[in-house]
Structure 1
Amino acid sequence: MRSTLRVVSLFGGFALLGALLYGAFGDRVLRRAVFAGAFLLSGAPRFVVAALTDGTLPLAVTMAIGGLDAGVLNPILTTVVHEHVPEELRSRVSGVTTAGCEPAMPLGGLDAGLPADRAGLTAALLTLGGVYLLTRLSSLVFPSWRAMDVSGAGPGRPSGATRKRTPHPSAS
C-alpha cells in the first residue's frame, strides 16, 4: 500500500512541476503538439509498464514522466477555454465541464474492475492502455483539434491576446 501511495505521489508532484514549467515556457510551443504528446506519454505507458514489469522502480519512473506530461494538460485546456468561449459564458461552460467530468472519474475505476476480473489484470491493463492510446490519437487526426493553435496565442504573444481576423476578400 505504501509503495502505491508513493508512486501516485510521484505522479502528482511531477504534474505540479509540469504545470509550473508550462507556465514558464508554454508560450514558446505549439499547444496541440504539446497537448497530444503529453496525453500520449502520460497515459498509455503507465498501463503497459504496470502490466509488463515487476517491481516499483519502473512504474515509479513511468509515473514521474507521466506526471510531468500530465501537468501541462489543464493549463492548456483552461487557456483554450478562455480564448474560445465568450466571457459571459465561461462560468457556465466551466461548470458544465466540471459537472460532466468529476462524476465520471470514479466510473473509470469501476469499469476497469470487470475486465480485470474476467480477463486478468495484465490483459485488462494492456487493453485499457490500448483504448487510451487510440482515443488520444484523435487529437492528431481530427481537424477540430487544430483550433488549439489558431487562437492567436503563441510565441511572443500573451495567452490572452487574440489575433484580429481580417475578412477574406470577396470575389467579384
Structure 2
Amino acid sequence: MLAFGPLNPILGAVKAERTPPRLRARVYATISMAALAGMPLGTALAGAVSARWGLMPAIAVFTAAAAAMSLCPLLFPAWRTLDRPPVAWTGPRRQ
C-alpha cells in the first residue's frame, strides 16, 4: 500500500482546487462518509473471504481489487481532465 501514499496529497489538492468554496464542507463530508462507511463492509468481506477460502487467497483477492482500483485513471475519462486548470468559480448563474 506504499504506492497509494502519494495519492492522498494529490487528491486533497484536487478536491480543494475543484470544489467551489461554498460547497467544500458538503463535498468533504460526503467523501469522508463514503470512506468511513466502507471500512466495516470491507472488514466483514475480508473476514468472510478468508474464512471461506483461507488467508492467502483472501490476500490475493484484495490485492487484485487494489490493483484494479489503481487502473481507474486509465478507464474513466474524468481523471484525464485533472491536468487542465479548473474553471474559475464565479458563483451561481442568474437568469
Gaps of at least 5 residues in structure 2 are 89-95
Distance 1:78 1:131 in 2: 23
Distance 1:90 1:112 in 2: 33
2:14 to 75, 80, 88: 80
Distance 1:97 1:163 in 2: 22
| Aligned equivalent of 2:42 | 108
What is the TM-score normalised by the length of structure 1?
0.46
Aligned residue identity for 1:132:
A
Distance 1:70 1:142 in 2: 18
- Offset at residue 163 of structure 1 (A): 7.4
Distance 1:107 1:93 in 2: 22
CA RMSD for the aligned pairs? 1.9
Distance 2:87 2:37 in 1: 36
| Aligned equivalent of 2:60 | 126
Q: Higher relative contact order by CA 8 Å / sep ≥ 6: 1 or 2? A: 1
Gaps of at least 5 residues in structure 1 are 1-41, 43-65, 152-161, 165-172
State whether structure 2 residue 82 is matched by structure 1 residue 148.
yes
Q: Identical aligned pairs, as a percentage?
A: 34
| Aligned equivalent of 2:92 | none
Q: How many residues align?
A: 88
Aligned residue identity for 2:10:
I
What is the TM-score normalised by the length of structure 2?
0.79
